[in-house]
Amino acid sequence: MSATSQPKGVAGKLSHSAREGEPPATLCIGAASINQAVKSICIARQYLQRDGLNLSFQVCLAFRQVPLWASSLPWFGREHMGGWV
């Protein structure tokens, strides 16, 4: 995911993965990229709501020593009929 990713397009891919039963994941580096990811998740939740599904995410920080940077890897879970998958 990059700062220039289109949220609606990414949301479609996230929704498709969730419908197929595969928890989607994305790697974001930087604040602008994380912003686009959050927008995509919000849109994907609206898409999935029509199917009775819900999408959540959890941020995991990964630190590397060379080069020094931090990235965020949201973890997604899929909820169907009140139970998390």
Each domain of the chain, given as residue ranges in start order, spans: 7-84
Give the DSSP letter of residue 25.
B
What are the tens digits of pLDDT across the range 17-76?
Answer: 888 887 777 778 788 888 999 999 999 999 999 888 888 877 776 665 544 444 444 555
pTM for this predicted structure: 0.69
Q: For position 29, what pLDDT does the model report?
A: 79
81 pLDDT higher than 60: no
φ, ψ of residue 75 to 5 degrees: the values are: -105, 135
Q: What tokens appear for 2 in the block?
A: 């990059």
Q: For position 74, what pLDDT does the model report?
A: 52
Query: 7-84 domain in CATH 1.10.3210.10?
Result: no
